Each structure stands twice: as structure tokens, then as C-alpha cells.
Amino acid sequence: MSDQVLTPEGALQGVTLMGEGINDNTSWNVVGHTYTPKVLTENVFIWHAAIPDGTFVPPHIHPTQDEWITVLTGELEVEFGEACHKASPGDTIRMPRGIAHGIFNRSGDEATCVFGVAPSRKLYDLFEALDGVTDPEELVRISALHEVDFLPPPAE
């Protein structure tokens, strides 16, 4: 059981255990990944992610947030346009606001990592809205309402 209490200002204080999330152990299935929220304030949103092999987040832009990922296990690839960067355990990927990026697990194994965005803006609400959504057009539509803009797929 997590050891969490609210401060007088309404912030969550304490420890969120490894297998648990905040807010009644919330977790979401977003694009085949399991996201478990760990920290949520107006200034920052941090979540744990389990990313199965062969899954990805298509190229997209956060126009109002800086994003980062610290890889815990496995390996991820992040594409910034034509450039592809590999990240291994202990590596941190930086994705500044306004820069298109896609996140891919092509490693053959599950990857786990910790994501964060600052400021938090609407991303927590986006993950709640996307939980279990599998239709790509609906994912793009909902994301745009929450300040995440997916790029059109490449021409075939």
C-alpha cells in the first residue's frame, strides 16, 4: 500500500510504490503501452511505462510541453524526423516542445521507462481519454483536443 497523504496545499506527498499509481492505482492502456501515473502537479506529470516489443508512439508534437524519457530496461528508438537515436538502460531522451518525435520499441524485448512532461497541461486527461482507444483516427482527434498533434502518416 502506498504511503501518500495530501499536503495542506493539495499536493500528494509520500511514496508511490513500484507496482502502483496515484489516484486509486490508475493505469491506462495507450497505444498498447501500460502507463501508470506516479507524479501529477500543475508543473510536472511523470509516469511509468511498460512498452512491449513491436509497439510505438507515432511521430507527434507537444506544442506546450517539454518531454523526457529515462530508460529503465530494454531499449527504445526515438526518431526526430530522419534522425534515429537508440537509448538503453540509464539513458535519458530529451524531446523539447515543438519538436516532432516518435518512440519505437524494435528491440525484441519489453522496455520499461519513466516519462515526464513539464508543464503537465492536459496530458493526464489525454491518457484517461485514450485508455483502450484503438482507432487511429479517434486517437489523433482526441489527442489534438489535449495539445498533442500527431503528424500525418508518410506517403506510401
Task: Report the distance separating Cα 33 and Cα 51, nearest Å.
Answer: 5
Facing residues of 48 across strands?
A: 36, 114
pLDDT value at 1 more than 50: no
| Percentage of the chain lying above the pLDDT 90 cut | 78
What is the number of residues in the chain?
A: 156
Q: With cut-offs at 50, 70 and 90, classify the pLDDT of residue 70.
A: very high
Domains of the chain: 28-148 (2.60.120.10)
Farthest CA pair distance, the chain? 55
Task: Write down the pTM of the prediction.
Answer: 0.89
Task: Report the distance separating Cα 53 and Cα 121, nearest Å.
Answer: 29
In the structure grid, which three cell numbers stand for residue 110, read together? 519489453
